[in-house]
Chain A
């Protein structure tokens, strides 16, 4: 039984029931040390109905082919690199892939500019090191090293934020499947089932491009933005409902109309043209990804729950909507005002949103 007070349980716990059901139904051959077969992993991610009638919730709404490429990559023991602009479910997919393939998504290295090589290889328990000298007991393994020993999937988040020289520590691990420990004159050899899923962001500033030696060890899958308005609305709706339940917000779901309107605004600003393609718009510098749409809606929901009548309306959403759009106070504000005056104002039934936004900007 998962601990209810945990804010966000990891995927393998949150979806433990589904994983079990799929495991039971899985007849396909499994690669060594995999919890599920590749087919079952794809089913777990894309959702569907099992033979015994159990319903699997889709975790990713998008191209099935993309997920198939990702899973097949892991099955060929090549490392997987998920790239794309922020908010395209890279981390989300990597977590679920790891949970489905090796039953744990917690062997995680969070990439930052200050990451040191120890975090990818191993560190030392210095008290022990000084007291006993170098020994295996004094060794503190990194998640990557643990994954190698146990034959599981390790995740490296934001790979491109890690300094280049540290990134390259992964090369031997990925090509030789071995992690030398020169201090002890030994090494860790990866067991079958070991692999790495990395995510990287190709839009941000201050990223460190992968060296071509490292890049060659990865198969790259580019995560796209949702293809259609419908698809994106579905994603936002489902995720908001899930988040709402962990935050113990009342079950009254955010009105679908509100979600649709917000997603339409995001898509239009992102693409720089109206959905009917008739008018050109200024694009703000903000990413305006689906993930941000989700957070705008859920914060609107929280606002409505605690300060309003419980149903998220234009006024509850306007605040965080403006926050999401205007990242650069100068140029983004102009873009938003123009959009407000030329598009929002003229749309039927959007008067409430227009009023709410106007009020906040003045």
Chain B
């Protein structure tokens, strides 16, 4: 004898009915729809360290990209059935087609799928959740509510599971759908397992399977063992490893993996554990979450909202309030009809934030093992196990610290953000120090296992993944970013292929803007890469290719542009100028200087940029002060609009205004310009000038103010006074070091 219990995956109503039925008719053997090769980790389900939501991860040890998840929540019928069976001490068997065979089928091209799962998309909603489909036909948006209304009424005396079989038999006959080969093979295997259990002499076999499959198992005699064997013939079994991993409600909520997703795991949990007062709990939680967000939501609000939800359900002639009613009630009572607060807490309220736990002493994926062994060898275990964030300072000259840095960067590449660097990203490559903020969150475990598809060690996975990301993009800035990440993570093997990808992308790049975006990063890599023991010769070669193209393109790129893009160019030119200065030993920068020269004299270039270039030429001593003064006078001449003069000044003074103090001639020109400006123009340019001057340091500004008040001549006298006021004693202390630096000793 056997009995088929067709269930809704993750349906709390199913679970309740199933448990009731099992209590009423205790079976002596339990068959559950789950891949047979997951059975080897079945016993861990009773492990005290395992807390749902959890999932069985099945993966091909040789090819980690083939992996499948089998998630369970505490309210999943399968989970409760397993718990029941193991607690009763009766044999519990998994009866679905082994994942090893399913991987094999997929490999043979039976199904063109990326993820080798008994794929939700292909089967369509009906097979995945036939009860949901029927509920939809019956006009319910929430299939759990339909279940409640149909099967859970007190006056419902009939055998629920018998009606489910009938319902699905009718549905399958009616649809007359040709099952996929994959599905037929699965059902054949399930029947085979069932026959075996019966042959083993069990008298009361209970079969827990998705409702869709119920008829195919119930009408066992309709199928001949011979046909079933023929369906399974030729299916070889791949070796598959299985382990338990923590899962989360968030992942359960979107349709991922082996089974149908659930819209609202948090609500389902309440429906399962506190069915009688689920609405009250839900409202109390909503009010609590809203309070945390700073809204006015009292317990009285929650009470009223729960009452409204009940009344609404009654008005709509529903036995219990559903998500819709509760949302509407919360909206009207707690949120004053205002949707925003509710949206703010929606994911926490509807989906829930629960993360499960899987104990450490059960088999793990290789990547996880590798990660944990590296954590141990780097003595990070304490931080890894800590629940609160910790700060870790690294000195990259110490090998151990360098390895830690590499590990954290590698994890970041794999999108496992265990650590975040605290300093600003500027200058990161140049420093020997790194400050990390480390916080391990449980959901990272899933990411580690997911990242397992890229490799068996953190290093190889990061290498593979960064190469994949590089292959997916041809954007120059993205690629240089990746190269930088690879360098930080110490992934040397990925570095050179990346550089050649950048080389390709750079030669394709038509816009000098992108080249200029890339150059500062590349320069940084070239300059500081050797502190991280990386071969950067190829990067230097790349820079030598890019620089001439930038120098040729720049003068034309900045002609006739608006102020907004001009500001972007401004910062790019500043960065590039700094980058090229860094590399001046390896590079001939004359071309860059002549490009700056062209821009500075191009009438059509934006005044902001012209000013900047004039300044750079002065800084590089290409222009003598007289020449700079000439340029300045030219740019500020009255024929031009006052505004463009002010912009020129802003560009020219960007960074520092010191040279106005040191070169009286420049000061005089500026003074003259401001003095001669008509009042109307002055008002117009005042904000611009203010901006230009506001970046200077307070002492600089103070000096300028004094100069403006008394004129530059007297000021030079004052400068002399200041030089006389040097503290001779302190100045002398510097001399030995200076001598040492200049090689005089």
Contacts from A to B (Cβ < 8 Å): 38-39, 42, 65, 68-69, 71-73, 75-76, 78, 81, 83, 212, 215-216, 219-222
Contact = CB atoms under 8 A, between A and B. Distances in A.
Interface stretch (B95-103, B245-253, B307-315, B595-603): B307-315
Interface in B281-322: 296, 298, 300-301, 304, 307-308, 311-312, 314-317
Contacts of B105: none
A212 B328 contact: no
B642 interface: no
A76 B315 contact: no
A69 B329 contact: yes
Interface stretch (B332-340, B492-500, B545-553): B332-340
A4 B162 CA distance: 64
Q: By DSSP majority rule, is chain A's interface helix, strand, loop, or mixed?
A: helix
Contacts of B333: 78, 219-220
Contacts of A72: 308, 311-312, 314-315
A72 to B, nearest CB: 4
Interface residues of B, number: 22
A212 B296 contact: yes
Contact of A216 (B300, B315, B338): B300
A78 B304 contact: yes
Contacts of A221: 332, 337
Given A69-B308, A216-B300, A216-B301, A75 B315 contact: yes
Contacts of A73: 308, 311, 332
A65 B326 CA distance: 12
13 contacts: A38-B315, A68-B316, A69-B328, A72-B314, A73-B308, A75-B311, A76-B304, A81-B337, A216-B298, A219-B304, A219-B308, A221-B332, A221-B337
Given A220-B337, A222-B337, A71 B315 contact: yes
Nearest to A38: B315
Q: By DSSP majority rule, is chain B's interface helix, strand, loop, or mixed?
A: helix
Interface of B: 296, 298, 300-301, 304, 307-308, 311-312, 314-317, 324, 328-329, 332-333, 335-338
Contacts of A76: 304, 307-308, 311
A78 B304 CA distance: 8
Nearest to B300: A216
A39 B311 CA distance: 11
B304 A69 contact: no
Contacts of B317: 39
A69 B314 CA distance: 11
A72 B304 CA distance: 12
Given A38-B311, A68-B316, A73-B332, 4 more contacts: A69-B312, A78-B333, A81-B337, A220-B332
A39 B312 CA distance: 10
B336 A215 contact: yes
Contacts of A215: 336
A73 B317 CA distance: 16
Contact of A219 (B300, B314, B324, B332): B332
A214 to B, nearest CB: 11
A216 B304 CA distance: 10
Contacts of A68: 312, 315-316
Contacts of A83: 337
Select the residue from A71, A78, A219, A221 with max chain B CB neighbours within 10 A.
A219
A69 B328 CA distance: 7
A22 to B, nearest CB: 15
A8 to B, nearest CB: 29
